[in-house]
Structure 1
Amino acid sequence: MKVRIVPVTAYQQNCSIIKCETSGKAAIVDPGGDVERILAEVEAMGATVEKIILTHGHMDHCAASDVLRQQLEVAIEGPHIEDDFWIAKLPEWCQMAGFPHADAFVPDRWLEDGDVVKVGEQQLEVFHCPGHTPGHVVFLHREQKLAWVGDVLFQGSIGRSDFPRGNHEQLISSIRNKLFPLGDDITFIPGHGPTSTFGQERQSNPFVADQRYG
């Protein structure tokens, strides 16, 4: 599996392109904007996009999803249905934030905890990890020990929980009870900023380190 990170929008959100090297099929993770840049990277990878997958419904992670769905004639999978209210109000959130306009849309498939998303011959496990948003999901490719965590966890920090229906306690629980048990050697791609590992964050992240909760 080949992965490329494409920072998009003024928020420098880490959109990813995941390519199954066996089949050439690919998924775009969290396309928040900059469609041309994303498609140029897809072409450079020699990939054929078969779906779009979303961690959550915030505009910088999903605003370009429907444009790409129509242009590429592919499906959108994710997030969890609890983020429906975020996606339904995309035009309002974009206007309030001075973000490029995006129409509301409905994913082709809402995801649940325990679901599997296929990318070519690869499988991503789905974990419902609320807190930043109520419908946030995380994707794990277990064989490559790589996770896409959206805005749940960052290198040295955690996601905000002060947005509508955010919940700090849920966020901490999602990180410590769902993500950290997956293994210290799991590398994660956050929604913004550099990659890290769950082990590094367990040791040194001031919000969720073991010493804080041990």
Structure 2
Amino acid sequence: MPDKLPNVLIASFPAGPWQTNCYLMARAEGGPCVVVDPGVGATEGVRRGIEQYGLTLDAVLLTHGHVDHVASAAQIADEAEVPVWIHEADADLLSEPLLALSEDSRPILESLYGSTTFTPPRDVRNYDGDVVTAGIRFATRHAPGHTPGCTLLLPETDDALLVLAGDVVFAGSIGRTDMPRGSAFEMASSLATQVLPLPDEAHLLPGHGPATTVGHERINNPWLQPHALMALQNPIDDGK
């Protein structure tokens, strides 16, 4: 999905068996870019996008550490000799993905990679405020719940407010909280303090599925309604 919004180029494609949205973002064709969430099988799609738009890679940004969002990060970043950015709470998932997955995921990883452990990227950096790369300033908002390190990324543009939402919120749904390291209580807090205060016109670019807006989700997403947030804050069983 190529798109041109004010002062920013975005190209995206769904990758791997989980159809995770991988994004390339740049100020313009022919310039530096970032890749956001290169998951399982994303390497060739990233290479094609970089070649198609004449881009050079400056960094890999990760919204969180689940394998379907990070599996290709090391290969892409190390080949280009660029850093990978992630919240420190999820950094260990770059090498030990099963720490935040159910045991049912073990045979899937073994089938895909022959192992359940990965070699992490050579240059891993932790979010600490804004990240400036490829000529774009990305504001970071910590939004735990799906994983402890979930982070919303807000690239600075001239007119449009964009939010790379990862698996915090989707069109009509939110990220699951029943896997290891997930927390329904923290998810409710993140939705209430990081997502709902955003203006209605903010464009949400989620980790799975179609793009949407905060205004649309505020009205139509059942998980963003007051009773649903209260239920998340007071779960009968948080799976722990």
Task: Give TM-score, length-normalised by structure 2.
Answer: 0.81
The 3-state SS of whatever aligns with 1:207 is helix
Verify: 1:74 aligned to 2:85, yes or no: no
2:209 equivalent to 1:193: yes
Show the counterpart of 2:53. 45
| Equivalent pair of 1:89/1:104 in contact (CA under 8 Å) | no
Match of residue 206, structure 1, among 222, 230, 234: 222
- State the shift of 1:10 in Å: 1.1
SS of 2:188's partner is: helix
1:64 & 1:162 partners in 2: Cα distance? 25
2:181 is the counterpart of 1:173: no
CA RMSD of aligned residues (A): 2.2
For 1:126, the aligned partner's letter is: T
Size of the alignment, in residue pairs?
211
Deviations 1:143-200 (A, max 9, x none): 3311101000000001000111111121121112112212111011111000111111
Deviation at 1:91, TM superposition (A): 7.4
Q: How does 1:79-94 map to 2 (within 5 A)?
A: 80-90=87-97
Q: Which residue of 1 aligns with 2:120?
A: 105
State the one-letter code of the partner of 1:103: F
What amino acid is aligned across from residue 167 of structure 1 in structure 2? S
Instruction: Kindly indicate whether the alpha-carbon contact (under 8 Å) linking 2:144 and 2:187 is maintained by their aligned counterparts in 1.
Output: yes
In structure 1, stretches of 5+ residues that fail to align are none
Q: 1:32 is matched with which residue?
A: 39
Counterparts in 2 of 1:173 and 1:40: CA distance versus 1, 3 Å: same
Which amino acid in the other structure matches residue 18 of structure 1?
M
Aligned to 2:142: 128
2:23 is matched with: 16
* Structure 1 SS opposite 2:75: helix
Task: State the distance in 2 between where 1:104 and 1:155 align.
Answer: 33
| Greater gyration radius | 2
SS at match of 1:82: helix
- Structure 2: which 5+ runs fail to align? 1-7, 231-240
Q: Which one is further off, 41-50 or 152-161? A: 41-50
| Matched residue type, 1:129 | A
Identity of aligned residues (%): 31
SS at match of 1:184: coil
CA 22–5 in structure 1, closer or farther in 2 if over 3 Å, else same: closer
Residue 107 of structure 2 is aligned with which of 96, 119, 126? 96
Amino acid of the structure 2 residue aligned with 1:15:
C
